[in-house]
A = this chain, B = another copy of it.
Amino acid sequence: MPDILHKVGIKSASSSDVYEALTTIEGLSAWWTTTTQGDNNIGGVLQFRFGNGGFDMKVLELDPARRVLWQVVDGPEEWIGTKISFDLDQRDDRTIVLFKHAGWKESVEFTHHCSTKWAVFLLSLKSLLETGKGAPWPNEIKLDSWE
């Protein structure tokens, strides 16, 4: 089963700062999609919308300043049941984010698409924390005509 892996190092950001951007509606809205809502507690479901489509994520783990784990409970067929994790490690004044989107059943063109799209949004997270300004949907870099 192919996993999508990424890493961003975020300068002048504590792991607590990054954790907040990954776990609050305000934070998530500022780097992933402006239309984020839902229950951000363990067992709650977050709704991320991108125009007509989107993802519902159940919050499985919250380890403050260290780890966030979600499971996709609604969205594109290829995503349902997959798990998304963010592991944080503060090194000096930088926080390293190790990202994994695990559980894809097979590699299809949509896997390629989502991998690069995750990079686009993780670079938006980095920008948000380093400069105060992210590029969440609908202002992120588009990869294809159907976006």
| Chain A interface (Cβ < 8 Å from any Cβ of B) | 2-9, 91-92, 94, 96, 98-100, 107, 109, 111-113, 115-116, 119-120, 122-123, 126, 141-145
| Distance between Cα atoms of A108 and B94 in the complex (Å) | 20
Contacts of A98 in B (CB 8 A): 109, 112
Contact, CB under 8 Å: B145 / A8: no
Inter-chain contact A111/B4, CB cutoff 8 Å: no
Interface of A is mostly: mixed
Shortest C-beta distance, A79 to chain B (Å), equals 15
A116/B2 contact (C-beta < 8 A), A141-B123, A145-B91, A145-B94 known: no
Q: In the complex, what distance in Å separates the CA atom of A34 from the CA atom of B42?
A: 47
Nearest Cβ on chain B to A119's Cβ, whole angstroms: 3
Given A107-B5, A119-B120, A120-B123: A112 in contact with B92 (beta carbons within 8 A): no
CA distance A98 to B115 in the complex (A): 11
In whole angstroms, what is the CA distance A6 to B2 when docked?
Answer: 12
Contact in complex: A5, B2 (CB < 8 Å)? yes
28 A-B pairs (CB sep. < 8 Å): A2-B5, A4-B5, A4-B115, A5-B112, A5-B115, A6-B116, A6-B119, A7-B109, A7-B112, A7-B113, A7-B115, A7-B116, A7-B144, A8-B143, A9-B142, A9-B145, A92-B145, A96-B144, A98-B109, A98-B112, A100-B112, A115-B115, A115-B119, A116-B123, A119-B119, A119-B120, A119-B123, A123-B141
